[in-house]
Structure 1
Amino acid sequence: MTDTTESGEKRTYAVGSVVRALRLVDLVAEGPAEGVTLTELTRGLGTSKSTAYSLARTLVDAGYLRDVQPGPRYRLGMALVRLGDRASAAHPLADVVKPVLHELSRQTGMTARAAINDDGYPMFIARVDAPGTIRFHTPLGVRELPHTSAAGKVILSLLPAGVTERVAEETGLPPRTRKTITSAAELRAELDLTRGRGYGVDDEEDSDGVLCVAAPVFDHTGTVFGALSVTGLKGDQSVRQITELGGVLTEAADRITRALGGHRAL
């Protein structure tokens, strides 16, 4: 890569290792959801395996990539997701969901968010705050605890049982409120309920006085891709009102699924 001065002299300014590192990030971003192997990165970069590995490990250590097992396979890291409006500009799904989130927020009077499935955890990539003065501390680009989150429950409910077991072991199911699910058996029962009704509920399980409802978004393979959710004060919300919110979220999530060319698993 070169630059040309006013005198016409060409000046080389590209740093080869940086160019390769950026290309490696592109390869991971363009790769499958389960991640890209070292062999695939080596082939895509046209370098030796040791060079690809050194670049990948450097990016992992910096947070721009992360390695997942078995493999390892490489996926985008949190540092990338947090760039650009702390996540919104970093994920293409944000542009698709923002109009739907605005509509949900107006319709429900609640904060509306969109999450992606990040290896069994919900990671929120877009948010539209509720009208009015109430604001919830809901950062973007950060994994949330699946067992306390409506979006997390709905994602886990549609993944293999082994994922639930792994997440329960990794997190330890810590309590956030007196209503938080803290045992694997309780979590399995809650996920069965969530799967049956088609939407997830966080009934003051993450924060006292706060209610969340979420519905799943699916990709082209019928796999759960993420979720849409709304968050607001619990107040005196009735079971009927929560059920109605579930219906509203499901309809909105299905619209996003169709926009992504996805479909519900049969």
Structure 2
Amino acid sequence: MTTTEDGDSSRYLVRSVSRAAEVLEALSATAPGEGLSVTDVARACGLSKSAAFATLHTLCHHGLAADDGEGMNRRYRLGMALARLGVRAQEQLSLRDIARPVLTALTRDTGLSSRLAVPEGAHAVVIDQVSNGERIQIELRMGTRELPHCTGLGKALLAEMTPAQVAELIGRVGLPRRTDHTITDLDSLVAHLHDVRKAGYALDDEEDAEGVFCIGSALRDHSGGCCGAISVTGLKLGLPSWRYQELGRQVRQAAEAISVRLGHVPAEQTP
């Protein structure tokens, strides 16, 4: 954290706490079953060996780190107290709580209604939404079960599956035609989902309802797994193709922001 709404907040940072956080991050980068020596930690965090040892000793005292071995062979790893705290953190904040501020900003920036959905069986179920406040509203209801093959939310979730999983799911629910634009062929859908994965967002271009478009992007949690999706929805009204791409980028970035708040580490940031 470097800034807040009140300006530069670096003066509020406690150096010893920041150092402890950096040490925990270094320990988190080790492979399962391995650990780091004091020298390893000092090098990774740019600390002296004495500062690294003192920080590690303090973290071990609180159960946030653990050590094995003796002397030069002593190695440090993350402590099990972090697992307990992680569970409590998940319990204290729901997906809706985390996503709502981002959805509000997304609606403000795009002028479109936004929604949040979670997977339930073969469908995407809407659990929250932010209206754009326009006089003419598209009928969007909480608890709506979005079809997987022809909606922005549904396709965003579907794209997180393997082709085999997609085939199995579609084998159960089918590919009902909603409009003349609906994809009703499995091979075409699988190819389309490949493009969705590359773009990072799914476009429903009048595939579920005539005159309506929806753009969705998947959410990922701390495990890297898909835990939901968000979308924006609007009336097509001759919207130019470049505008879809711009909206897709905005929805994708909003999904990434929510995912980071859920503890997801993007691939390019993975140690």
Task: Give the shorter-chain TM-score range.
Answer: 0.5 to 0.7
Amino acid at match of 2:181: K
Contact map agreement 2:216 2:230 (CA 8 A) in 1:
yes
Question: 1:131 corresponds to which residue?
Answer: 133
Gaps of 5+ in 1: 1-90
Distance in 1, matches of 2:252 and 2:141, equals: 23
Question: 1:107 corresponds to which residue?
Answer: 109
Question: 1:173 corresponds to which residue?
Answer: 175
Contact map agreement 2:122 2:173 (CA 8 A) in 1:
no
Distance in 2, matches of 1:197 and 1:110, equals: 20
State the 1:195 CA deviation. Answer: 0.8
State the 1:112 CA deviation. Answer: 0.3
Q: 1:182 aligns with which of 158, 181, 184?
A: 184
Q: TM-score by structure 2 length?
A: 0.61
Distance in 2, matches of 1:126 and 1:181, equals: 27
Tell me: CA distance 1:148–1:265, structure 2 relative to 1, closer, same or farther (3 Å). farther
Contact map agreement 1:106 1:131 (CA 8 A) in 2:
no
Instruction: Give the CA RMSD over aligned residues.
Output: 1.7
Q: TM-score by structure 1 length?
A: 0.62
Amino acid at match of 1:219: D
Gaps of 5+ in 2: 1-92
Structure 1 residue ranges (4+ consecutive) displaced by more than 3 angstroms after TM superposition = 263-266
Distance in 2, matches of 1:192 and 1:109, equals: 29
Tell me: CA distance 1:143–1:162, structure 2 relative to 1, closer, same or farther (3 Å). farther
Q: 1:215 aligns with which of 214, 217, 220?
A: 217
Aligned residues: percent identity? 37
Matches within 5 A, 1:136-215: 136-215=138-217
Q: 2:238 aligns with which of 229, 236, 239?
A: 236
Distance in 1, matches of 2:189 and 2:257, equals: 28
Question: 1:96 corresponds to which residue?
Answer: 98
Distance in 1, matches of 2:141 and 2:168, equals: 24
Tell me: CA distance 1:264–1:157, structure 2 relative to 1, closer, same or farther (3 Å). farther
State the 1:253 CA deviation. Answer: 0.7
State the secondary structure of the residue aligned to 1:169: helix
State the 1:131 CA deviation. Answer: 2.2
Contact map agreement 1:223 1:264 (CA 8 A) in 2:
no
- Give the number of aligned pairs: 176
Larger Rg: 2
State the 1:265 CA deviation. Answer: 5.9
State the 1:136 CA deviation. Answer: 2.1
Distance in 2, matches of 1:263 and 1:188, equals: 27
Distance in 2, matches of 1:173 and 1:155, equals: 16
Matches within 5 A, 1:14-29: none
State the secondary structure of the residue aligned to 1:182: coil
Contact map agreement 1:221 1:265 (CA 8 A) in 2:
no
Contact map agreement 2:146 2:153 (CA 8 A) in 1:
no
Distance in 2, matches of 1:239 and 1:157, equals: 22
Tell me: CA distance 1:228–1:203, structure 2 relative to 1, closer, same or farther (3 Å). same
Deviations 1:68-111 (CA, angstroms, capped at 9, x unpaired): xxxxxxxxxxxxxxxxxxxxxxx921122112111111111111
